[in-house]
Structure 1
Amino acid sequence: MKEYCGIFGIYNNPNAAYYTYLGLYALQHRGQESAGIAVTDGNRIDYHRDFGLVFSVFNSERLNSLTGHVAIGHNRYSTSGASDSPDNVQPIVVSYKLGQMAIAHNGNLVNAWELREKLEDEGSIFRGTTDSEVIVHLIVKSKKRRFLERLMDALSKLKGAYSLLVMTNKKLIAIRDPWGFRPLCMGELDGSPVFASETCAFDLIGAKYIRDVEPGEVVLIENGEMKSYRIPAFESAKRSQCIFEFVYFARPDSKIFGRSVYEVRKAFGRKLAKEHPVDADVVIPVPDSGVVPSLGYSQESGIPFELGLIRNHYVGRTFIKPQQKMRDIGVKVKLNPVPELLKGKRVVVIDDSIVRGTTSRKIVRMIREAGAKEVHMRISSPPTKWPCYFGIDTPTKDQLIASTHSVDEICRYIEADSLGYLSIEGMIEAAGGSWEDYCTACFDGNYPVDIPETVVRQAKKE
């Protein structure tokens, strides 16, 4: 599993670019390929974007040049479109008949290929390959007169996941798709409305969380006035919030979908301990996403919690892969066991998921080599059997080990003494709400939106 995108926006603040920079800093975990900020002074939109982490893309001089009182920002991990094309870095900024416009998008459209092909047939020319650019073209080509009408017209054609921030010379608009796949939070900073993918961005800048942007809601801010609208074409859409946000993607100190990520993850661990108990001496997490559910597992089971695996936080995605004879270094450079905590012990290892299984096998071997007597793997989510088409960069179905292997077969493959997954029922109960609130397609294949065959074929090619 890989991160996807984080977005941040602020209205009517003299330090808009700087606060957006800080917001993106807090959301860095959601995307590490590129970052960008667009800002307006009411007359024109200026922007800067580039490949790299937030701190490397922006410096004091660059931020000082982005003057204006309204800004939006974006961190990207590519789930649609080539990661090495500058034209795919967001926010996307364009000039057209009604003025300028900037867009920052988190999510993935399942009908983007269909829409793009139709737009190209009508004469549209695309610079990049992202589905986000499709949204821009739909707005620009709409026959509606006013901007809000154009925007609503474009949104009525979209299917899939999109949390959007749209900025014009005079407006800031926050949008969440009718299914509510991706989180989008609303807050306030000294009278300035702010929006972010997660509330951890508000904590950093001292903003107050107000509420979530609701699924299917369009929040328009213009001339200091905030208005709320509904996307009319999808009023009957079923709420389908991505439960994997709780499992892995969101920061544990964030609040999304109205719930504390920390408390939900701990509840996952408690439920996992009830469903898959084991006689053991120590519970250890695979950091970082396994830490909080490990605490819940430890507290429920009474088995002591220890940090038996230490993560190297300075390893980036550009780590050079070793030769075949040194293949295990790829994991060891990121994780290192503490033999003093593991030697002669029966160890419970908590991780958030198993995707292909190769990393889990290396972790189990590493713990055994450190002297563990038994290694019991516990996963704080159900088996991942189906790919995601709504903004998570997952492998295709044939590459997901749980789609072709039973739990016992996976256990043998990763060389653990036992393996237990959290059930879907237990996960939903721990997350709060009901089945109707969440998308669980990656676990059960029940996609809330029909997936076109062209999208499935394209995913296999990529």
Structure 2
Amino acid sequence: MCGLVGLVAKSDVAPEIYDALTVLQHRGQDAAGIVTCVGGKFSQRKGEGLVRDVFRQQHMQRLGGPMGIGHVRYPTAGSSGTALAQPFYVNSPYGIALAHNGNLTNSEQLAQELFQDDLRHLNTDSDSEVLLNIFAHELQTLGKLSPSADDIFTAVASVHRRCRGGYAAVGLLVNYGVFGFRDPFGIRPLVIGARKTHAGEEYMIASESVALDVVGFTFLDDVGPGEAVFIDQEGKLHRRQCAPNATLRPCIFEHVYFARPDSLMDGISVYKTRMRQGEALAKKVRRLRPDLHIDVIIPIPDTSRIAAQSMAYELNIKFREGLMKNRYIGRTFIMPGQSERKKSVRQKLNPVPLEFSGKNVMLVDDSIVRGTTCRQIIEMARDAGAANVYFASAAPPVRYPNVYGIDMPSASELIAHNRSVEEVCELIGADWLVYQDLDDLIRCSHDGNPHVDGFDCSVFNGEYITGDIDQSYLDRQEFLRSDDAQNERRVELQAEGGMVGLHNDV
């Protein structure tokens, strides 16, 4: 999962792109990058680490220009390193920089086509570079000295014909403007904002609406599934649907975990969705265990807090903050290795013994993926004196890998894969475990916008909506995403000095 920003304004955009990236930091903590354009030239800064660590004052001073794009990244399929930080760049045609959120499920086939048919060189194994070169090739085949908005939309339409998977992208054309597009299913999010200034209208594209808010833009609309937008250097917004038979089926895991609660996605309030998740979970608890005695409901910070509050209200049970979070530890879900995840959980959370001692505690989390975090937190609760520890997941069992841009572990590393709820309960050490029902989860999101066609729920039901995922693909992903494979990849990168190819920087 990654965060995207694109901006065309009447003054230098780098400071505002920086601010927007900081509020999208939850979408990726591995690397960050900004590319701007002025006088027909790109300026670029990117590197590994958090936004605040990658960009210093001297970097920002050299990122001049009224157009730019930015990116925050976490690694997929074990890939990491500065050379894979985005945006990526190609000099032909025109000079194009692009940043991408998602995953191309046919990237290996496309990489072969780019080499054999399109005569294009790929410098990394990133599908983001594949996406950039597909777009660049399709734009170049039009043979225009100066591309128009229509030409950009024609190229995006060709991208949709060739590419499969879930993807959203923002790009920058030297001297022409900023563009953005979203896959024909709208799996990965993308929004547009506008701002009026004395010099004229300014437009921004971003992964989440909170990025618009922080720099004073007003939410205008979501980029539709299969739609492309182009903001030319004069500040005019152009939009076009570029995919036939597009259907809106966004990733429901955004509402469960990834998106900030103050975001609006496809007309759906993430905050209200998580409130409805808590209400539905409470009703299931009451239905299954009406006599269950719970003294206190405690969220596992931060993503589950809203659902836990709503659940406590519905059940008329005390809500307490019993786990204190160290804000300087990254999200354990996206830690690169199992040993690092185990170590970070104890560093990240510390119990308040007063809220646990002698009590029947219901812990609430947004989801259970590997089970590493919840198992250790249940141990913490018992060490703090809890009489009984119950556990509630605001999402159904995660049984299948994600192939559309969320780097979930291989299927064999998912604790619920091929296991019953009772078996998972025993493995994590809870006295009772309750999961959200999938139908209820879908309803919680769909109630926010009845016009959404459906949701990608593949991590819960194994149904991959692009229709191109077979067992051989999943087996390949199993190999790439296992912790052993990722550790081997990191060793290779270290041996190569962390570089896969050229890295441009300011």
TM-score category (smaller protein): over 0.9
User: 1:131-188 deviations in whole A, cap 9, x for unaligned?
Assistant: 0111222233332234423343233211111111111021211111110011111111
Identity between Structure 1 and Structure 2 (%):
36
Equivalent residue for 1:227, pick from 214, 238, 245: 238
Counterpart position of 1:45: 42
Equivalent residue for 2:322, pick from 288, 300, 308: 308
Q: Cα distance, 1:321 vs. partner?
A: 8.9
Preserved contact between residue 329 and residue 344 of structure 2 (Cα < 8 Å): no
- Distance in 1 (CA, whole Å) between partners of 2:304 and 2:371 is 16
Counterpart position of 2:180: 174
User: 1:355-380 deviations in whole A, cap 9, x for unaligned?
Assistant: 12232222111101111111110000
Q: Cα distance, 1:455 vs. partner?
A: 3.4
Counterpart position of 1:125: 121
Preserved contact between residue 160 and residue 226 of structure 2 (Cα < 8 Å): no
- Distance in 2 (CA, whole Å) between partners of 1:18 and 1:296 is 37
User: 1:349-401 deviations in whole A, cap 9, x for unaligned?
Assistant: 00011112232222111101111111110000000011000000111212212
Is structure 2 residue 210 aligned with structure 1 residue 200? yes
Counterpart position of 1:338: 352
Preserved contact between residue 113 and residue 455 of structure 1 (Cα < 8 Å): no
Equivalent residue for 1:213, pick from 212, 220, 223: 223
Q: How many residues align?
A: 453
- Distance in 2 (CA, whole Å) between partners of 1:17 and 1:383 is 41
Moved more, 431-440 or 244-253: 431-440
User: Structure 2: which amino acid aligns with 1:11?
Assistant: V
Query: Which structure is higher in RCO with an 8 Å CA cutoff and minimum separation 6?
Result: 2
Q: Cα distance, 1:272 vs. partner?
A: 0.3
- Distance in 2 (CA, whole Å) between partners of 1:265 and 1:322 is 28
- Distance in 1 (CA, whole Å) between partners of 2:412 and 2:358 is 37
Secondary structure class of the residue paired with 2:370: coil
Secondary structure class of the residue paired with 1:246: helix
Counterpart position of 2:147: none
- Distance in 2 (CA, whole Å) between partners of 1:367 and 1:42 is 59
Give the gaps of 5 or more residues in structure 2: 145-150, 287-291, 481-506
Equivalent residue for 2:411, pick from 392, 397, 401: 397
Q: Cα distance, 1:436 vs. partner?
A: 3.5
1:338-357 equivalences in 2 (<5 Å): 338-357=352-371
- Distance in 1 (CA, whole Å) between partners of 2:417 and 2:337 is 27
Is structure 2 residue 184 aligned with structure 1 residue 184? no
- Distance in 2 (CA, whole Å) between partners of 1:380 and 1:301 is 15
Give the gaps of 5 or more residues in structure 1: none
Counterpart position of 1:274: 283
Cα distance change, pair 390–323 in 1 and its aligned pair in 2 (3 A): closer
Moved more, 309-318 or 126-135: 309-318
- Distance in 2 (CA, whole Å) between partners of 1:428 and 1:459 is 26
Equivalent residue for 1:386, pick from 400, 413, 425: 400
Counterpart position of 1:248: 257
Counterpart position of 1:446: 463
**What is the alpha-carbon root mean square deviation over aligned residues?**
2.2
Q: Cα distance, 1:71 vs. partner?
A: 0.7
Cα distance change, pair 129–323 in 1 and its aligned pair in 2 (3 A): closer
- Distance in 2 (CA, whole Å) between partners of 1:150 and 1:321 is 39
User: Structure 2: which amino acid aligns with 1:168?
Assistant: L
Is structure 2 residue 106 aligned with structure 1 residue 106? no
Preserved contact between residue 91 and residue 103 of structure 1 (Cα < 8 Å): yes
Structure 1 segments, 4+ long, off by >6 Å, are 317-324
Q: Cα distance, 1:225 vs. partner?
A: 2.2
- Distance in 1 (CA, whole Å) between partners of 2:166 and 2:382 is 42
| TM-score for both structures, normalised by structure 2 | 0.85
Preserved contact between residue 81 and residue 128 of structure 1 (Cα < 8 Å): no
